[in-house]
Amino acid sequence: MSEESRTIDPQTAYVALAADGHAQVYPGGDEFWSQPEGRLERIGEHWLVSEYSFDADWPTWEMHPEADEFVYLLEGEADMLLELAAGPRIVRLSDRGAVVVPRNIWHTAKIRRACRMLHVTMGKGTQTRPA
């Protein structure tokens, strides 16, 4: 079945957008993250689109070395914490709005009200550390 002929739920499936204009849909969640490391690295060379729901603070900080990350708050309220060279920055997102997190910047979210966020980034080389 071609991707355009079915509905995609970005909370349960990830879409990888390639530089050549092609898109590939992958099952999300544990099925996605349990793929072999080499395959995840190849997928991470593309723009990965995913949606997550949060009702608690992120348990980790993350950093994407290959590209900026576009984080779009669809509903709810959260503070995005960015660890910038000039010092920490808090970006308040409420009800809807977006922030671009620059590549190589550690970031996490403090959830003020249950929310849903759409994320677009290149996942290759992503690093995490405990919050």
Q: Is 130 helix (H, G, I), strand (E, B) or coil?
A: strand
Helices (H), the chain: 29-33, 37-43
What band does 90 get if pLDDT is binned at 50, 70 and 90? very high
Domain of residue 78, CATH code: 2.60.120.10
pTM of the model: 0.90
Residue type, position 47, single letter: W
Q: Which domain holds residue 56?
A: 3-130
Segment holding 105, helix H or strand E: none
The pLDDT of residue 4: 59
Task: Report CA Rg, the chain.
Answer: 15
Residue 93 pLDDT > 80, yes or no? yes
Domain count, the chain: 1
Residue 101 pLDDT > 50, yes or no? yes
| pLDDT tens-digit map of 12-67 | 999 999 999 999 999 998 899 899 989 998 999 999 999 999 999 999 999 999 99
